[in-house]
Chain A
C-alpha cells in the first residue's frame, strides 16, 4: 500500500507531464487534444482549490477569534469583509451582471480595495529608504562597491548638465555591467527552471509524494 501511495502519484505526474510536453513539441492533433484536456482538468482542479482556500481562511481566522489571540480584531474584519462580498456578489439579480461585474462589487473594489492597495504601494517608498540605508552602510566590499555605484548613478540622474561626464557614466553602468549581470542571472534562472522541469518529469523531485 505504501509503495502504491508513492508510485501512483509519481506515475500520474510523469505521464501527464510527458503528454503535455508532447502536445507542445509536436503538431499531432491527438496529442494536442490530450494536452488541452489535461490542462483544462488542471484548471478545474485549481477552481476547487479556491474553495479549500476559503475554508482555510475561515478556519485560521475563526480560530484566532475563538481563542482570543493577538490580532483577532483584524481576523474579524477579514471574515466579515469576505462574507459581505460573498453575500453581495453571489446572488444573481435578473437583468444585472453577476459576480465580480456586479455594480456593488465593483464599488467595493474601486472604493475600498483599490485605495488600500494604492496606500500600501505608497508605503513602499519609505521601506525602500530604510532598505537603502541598511544596504549602504558599507559593511563589506560588496556594499562599498554598491554604495559607490549608487552615488554615481544618483548624481548622473540629477547633475542638471553641470558635470556632463556623469550622465554618460550612469548610462554606461546601467547598459553594460548592470545589464550583463541581469542577463547572467536570467540565463541561470532559465537553465535552472528547465532542469527543475526535467527533474519533475523524471520523478526525481516530488514533494507531492513520499
Chain B
C-alpha cells in the first residue's frame, strides 16, 4: 500500500512540474468555472454594503486527523475571504469546532487585517470555538445564524448529517449560502439548502482560484490529468475482465 502511495507521489511531481511550466508559458487551458468559488467576493461586497456580518465555518473536523485536507480547504478559503473582508471592513464571524483549528483561524484573520493596514480592526472574538462535538457545534452555529445580523453563510470543510441543523436554519432565514463538502452523504443536504454548492474535490480548488499562481493552477490541471488516467485504468481493467 505504501509503495502505491510512493509511486503515485512520484508520478504526480513530474506531471505537476511539467504543467507548471506550461501554465507559465501560457499554453495551459483555462480553469473551468466554479460558480460557488467565483461568487465569494460578491458575498463579502454585499456584507460590506449592508454592514452586516458574514459567517464562515471551516467544518467540524480538526487538523491532524483523517479529514485534515477538508479543514485545510476551509482555512484556505477563509484566508481569501478574510483578506477581502479586511480590505472593505466587513465584519466576519468565524466558527470552528476543533481547538486545533482555533489558533490557525485566528492567525489567518489577524494577518489579513495587518496586511490591509488595519491591525486594530482585528477582534480575537471574531473567531469562536463552538464545541468539539459535531451536533453541539451545529446547534451553536444554528443559534448564531438565527440571532446574529448576517447577510451570508459560507461553510466549507467536513460536515455530516448535523449540517442540516445549520443549513436549514440559514435557508429558512433567507441567507445566501455557499456550502462545500467532500462527504457524499452530506452533499444532497447541501444541494437542498445552499444557493451554491462546492461538490467533492471542488473545495480544494480555493487557493488556485484566488492566488492564480502557476503551480496552484498546475495542481488542478494535474488533478484532471490523473482523473483521466484513473478513468482509462478503469476502462482497460473492465475490457480485460470481459475479454480474458
Contacts and interface: CB of A to CB of B under 8 A. Distances in A.
Contacts, number: 160
Given A24-B2, A63-B125, A131 B167 contact: yes
Nearest to A26: B2
B227 A191 contact: yes
Nearest to A205: B207
B153 interface: no
Contacts of A70: 147
Interface of B is mostly: helix
Contacts of A192: 69, 182, 200-201, 203-205, 223
B152 interface: no
Interface stretch (B5-13, B28-36, B39-47, B48-56): B5-13
A198 B9 contact: yes
B107 interface: yes
A199 B211 CA distance: 13
B212 interface: no
Contacts of B128: 56-57, 60
Contacts of B207: 199, 204-205
Nearest to A134: B192
Interface stretch (A87-95, A119-127, A152-160, A169-177): A119-127
B168 A130 contact: yes
B165 interface: yes
Interface in B116-134: 124-125, 127-129, 133
Interface of A is mostly: helix
Interface in A29-78: 42-43, 46, 49-50, 52-53, 56-57, 59-60, 63, 70-71, 74
A117 interface: yes
Contact of A24 (B5, B72, B100): B5
A135 B100 contact: no
- Residue of A50, A130, A192, A194 with highest tally of chain B CB at under 10 A: A192
Interface in B201-227: 201, 203-205, 207, 213, 215-216, 219-220, 222-223, 226-227
A46 B216 CA distance: 29
Nearest to A203: B215
Interface in A146-185: 181-182, 185
23 contacts: A46-B62, A56-B124, A57-B128, A128-B189, A135-B191, A181-B184, A182-B184, A188-B223, A188-B227, A192-B69, A193-B70, A193-B204, A195-B219, A195-B223, A196-B69, A196-B204, A198-B9, A198-B219, A199-B207, A204-B215, A204-B216, A207-B72, A207-B75
Interface of B: 2, 5-6, 8-9, 12-13, 16, 62-64, 69-70, 72-73, 75-76, 78-79, 99-100, 102-104, 107-108, 111, 115, 124-125, 127-129, 133, 135-136, 138-139, 143, 147, 161-162, 164-165, 167-168, 171-172, 182, 184, 187-189, 191-193, 199-201, 203-205, 207, 213, 215-216, 219-220, 222-223, 226-227, 230
